[in-house]
Amino acid sequence: MINKKLTYAIFCLISPTLFTGCNATYHSQQVSSNEQNLTVGTVQREIHIGMSSADVISVLGSPNIVTTDENRQEVWVYDKISTETAYSKSSVGGSILILGASSSSGARSTTQKTLTVVVKFDNQSKVRDFAYHTSKF
């Protein structure tokens, strides 16, 4: 009888952590796969003058902003911001944690990165100029 109760108690404590961890991992992978296309290296390697707007979309995806310049020619702006947070936690407890008492401490580090890409097109929807700016803080 004690074994069944103990097994059930352990299952109840562990299962929410497992399901939450899997969900967070899946979300992280989805966000990462969507962000991988827009990097400084991709812009430097793939974008060039004379490229069609369709080719730009296939490389960088849809722009955040579409506007026109002083000559009424189309300008696309890609503006990406990412935040990375690392958190380390140490705790003292073990079986004490199951009883509801624990002692823990941790440290957190946050880094933000920005990347802005501006692509200017001519009258034939071909890249006539492009620029980029990146920062990390």
Q: CB within 8 A of 51, min separation 6: which ones? A: 126, 127
> If residue 89 lies in a helix (H) or strand (E), which one and from where to where?
strand 74-92
What pLDDT does residue 87 have?
A: 84
Contact 133, 41 (CB under 8 A): no
| Banded pLDDT at 8 (limits 50, 70, 90) | low
- Say whether both 26 and 92 belong to one domain: no
Question: Over pLDDT 90: what percentage of the chain?
Answer: 51
- Say whether both 54 and 97 belong to one domain: yes
Q: Across the chain, how many H-helices and E-strands are there?
A: 4, 4
pLDDT digit string (tens) for 56-73?
999 999 999 999 999 999
- Say whether both 13 and 79 belong to one domain: no
Structure tokens at 47: 């974008």
- Say whether both 26 and 52 belong to one domain: no
CA 40 to chain centre: 15
| Domain assignment of residue 57, given as a range | 38-136
